[in-house]
Amino acid sequence: MRIVKPSRHLATQLVTNAQPRRTSVPTLAWVLPRPKPDKYPGGFPLHFEKKLVNLLGNPPQILHPFGGMAEYGLRTDLRIKHPLEERFRSKVKWKAPDLRADAHNLPFRDSIFDLVILDPPYSEEESRSLYGTGKVTYSRYVNEAVRVCKPGGYVASYHVTITPRPHGTGYSLRILVATRVWHRLRACCIFQKGRR
């Protein structure tokens, strides 16, 4: 097999026609213990919230639209009672959310939170079996998060994949989170809402 080197003209043309290089997104990697003492199914790894809040300068107004067992801020959730409460009664400490609300249609006015942390169920199956809820739609709940976030504030999307940047935000930071062997990595994509 013969290898052909590109001519100088072709190499110059490829460089000239190349798109401008995008600025890379700063990426951190955290290895954290799991599980938290409450053993809540689907909860954050131990210390995750504290590290995230500290990293972002301890914002005063924090919202968790998928409240679960969040440690910081206002927790909203569709459920007042956990569907697995009977099964996990002796193992899991469940606290009702501060407010019953749907992440797709939040009952707040625009631009009031400094940080919105999104930790949805990662699939329709997980929504149904683990949380007893219906399908969640990324574009709907992330747009609601951006709507209620203050200009200059942050939306943190915690998921099993790197999530797309929502309209009206810039990519601020990515955090890859590992816990233990043979456990799926998580990605926390942090977007900053544009200033008006």
Q: For residues 104 and 99, what is the distance between their CA atoms, to the nearest angstrom?
A: 14
Instruction: Classify residue 57 by its DSSP letter.
Output: T
Q: For residues 176 and 178, what is the distance between their CA atoms, to the nearest angstrom?
A: 7
8 lies in some domain: no
20 pLDDT exceeds 70? no
14 lies in some domain: no
Domain count across the chain: 1
Top-confidence residue, 22 or 72: 72
Domain that residue 70 falls in: 24-193
128 lies in some domain: yes
161 lies in some domain: yes
12 lies in some domain: no
The model's pTM: 0.82
Q: According to the model, what pLDDT value does residue 95 have?
A: 75
Q: According to the model, what pLDDT value does residue 2 have?
A: 47
Q: Which of 83, 126, 74, 81 is nearest to 103 (CA)?
A: 74
The residue-averaged pLDDT of 41-61 equals 92
The residue-averaged pLDDT of 116-120 equals 96
Measured CA to CA in angstroms, residue 1 lies from 4, 6, 8, 57 at distances of 10, 16, 22, 58
What is the overall mean pLDDT for the chain?
A: 83
63 lies in some domain: yes
9 lies in some domain: no
Are the C-beta atoms of 155 and 166 separated by less than 8 Å? yes
Query: Residue 39 sits in a domain of what CATH number?
Result: 3.40.50.150
65 lies in some domain: yes
pLDDT digits (tens, 9 = 90+) for 60-104: 999 999 987 788 999 998 877 766 666 666 566 667 789 999 999
The letter for the amino acid at 194 is: G
